[in-house]
Amino acid sequence: MASTVLDSALFRDAFGTPAMRAIFDDAALLARYTEVEVALARAQGRLGVIPPQAAKEIAAGCDAARLDLARLKQETEVVGYPILPLVRQLAAQCGEAGKYLHWGATTQDIMDTAVVLQVRDALVLIGKDIAVLQATLARQAKRYRDTPMAGRTHLQQALPVTFGYKIAVWLAMLDRHAERLQQMRPRVLVGQFGGAAGTLASLGDKGMPVQQALMEELKLARPAATWHAARDGLAEAVNFLGLLTGSLGKIAFDVMLLASTEVGEVSEPFVQGRGASSTMPQKRNPISSELILACAKAVRQHAGLMLDALVQDLERATGPWHAEWIALPEAFLLTGGALHQAKFMLAGLQVDEARMKKNLDMTHGLIVAEAVMMGLAPHLGRNEAHDIVYGACRVVADKGGRLADALAAVPAVTKHLDKAALEKLTDPANYLGASQEMVDRVVGKRA
């Protein structure tokens, strides 16, 4: 039975996805180890480092699906690493040619390069999910471009914005993450082949040519220098996941706050029974947003662990490397889960425009006090205008009524602004700033 949410039959598809698990499960990892060993043999056979016929037999004979997993598990626990037990089994599959398997390589060469292959596949999935979210948010930003709502700072109503503007802010974050993803690929998708201490000494003058040929086989970039103990590439990948899920968490937190009973401006997609309470039949909890937040928090912890693992000793680490085995796959699984929940939640997000208008009007004009102040400032100066509007706001706050009416009772105001001007200034829909223009700029980038 599974013991974590990432493997649990109950929870694994809430915190992850089958597609991402398929990249990082044991079968996939062993297949990647085998792929690297075969690619190494092919590269060395092509260069004459090992007999070309042996390379062909290794390529034909190695089969990760025929590995004895029970034996591999037992021997890995004894050795501490899986590659030596793996090579023994693969070599036996290849007969006489097996003696040329793993020629001049070290355990970390195989494991690191296999992980890079996994990361490459995982980043493809993540890139596709980001693209889906970008398209969804672009449509919604355009749809709600002109829908006024209360903008809030410090959880208090501040100034009017549009819901399209809010979505455009979310979309711009994802645009930057898509850009980061592309920019980091050349730094992250770099193979590893250095031998025992990273110098390729065991292959003599063939070391560098073999390294080049191996990376060509695997379609990975070639390192300028061995990165056995310089792990910034993989750390960057996981910290990118921390940035991405952090942004998804911000979106989820916004949705949760806007979905609260007292605000009620949006809600997650309706699915019969989803978000129900065992004791409160009226409840409709924001389940996807909650899961996104949980995944984001966990990924940030793994991002920190990857940063900690950067501090490695000399030419081979004595522990930090092992921490990566925990942090990296779990971070990718959780990111896949967060993206999956975000796609579902945002594609079906329910928006209550009437509630947005009601909430926008609930302060009877106080939300646009700044607009009135700026309207009076050319006549009275900013400071005096601020004090007059502040006084009118206090009247509305203490005695009720509308800001327009309170201002209309102040001679210093009516001397410069008539009733029509005050009504216009205190209409939140007239004080949206550049909200719509920013929507157009963000969405327009896709043209």
Measured between its terminal Cα atoms, the distance across the chain in Å is: 50
Is 154 an annotated catalytic residue?
A: yes
Q: Are 106 and 98 in contact (CB under 8 A)?
A: no
Cβ-based neighbours of 155, under 8 Å, separated by 6 or more: 257
| β-strand partners of 157 | 152
Cβ-based neighbours of 287, under 8 Å, separated by 6 or more: 268, 274, 275
| β-strand partners of 161 | 149
User: Tokens 């967060």, residue?
Assistant: 338
Helix (H) or strand (E) holding 431: none
Rounded to the nearest 5 percent, the helix, strand and coil shares of the chain are 70, 5, 30
User: Tokens 């969804």, residue?
Assistant: 136
CA 150 – CA 357 distance, rounded (Å):
8
Q: How many CA atoms lie within 13 A of 361 on its CB side?
A: 8
Calculate the alpha carbon distances from 417 to 351, 422, 424, 425 in Å: 36, 6, 10, 10
Q: What is the CA radius of gyration of the chain?
A: 30
CA 320 – CA 235 distance, rounded (Å):
12
CA 24 – CA 167 distance, rounded (Å):
33
Calculate the alpha carbon distances from 236 to 239, 297, 303, 310, 437 in Å: 5, 17, 9, 10, 34
Write down the catalytic residue from 3, 8, 102, 154. 154
DSSP 372: H
| β-strand partners of 231 | none
Q: Are 234 and 327 in contact (CB under 8 A)?
A: no
Is 340 an annotated catalytic residue?
A: no
Write down the catalytic residue from 260, 277, 322, 379. 277
| β-strand partners of 156 | 153
Catalytic residue positions, numbered: 154, 277
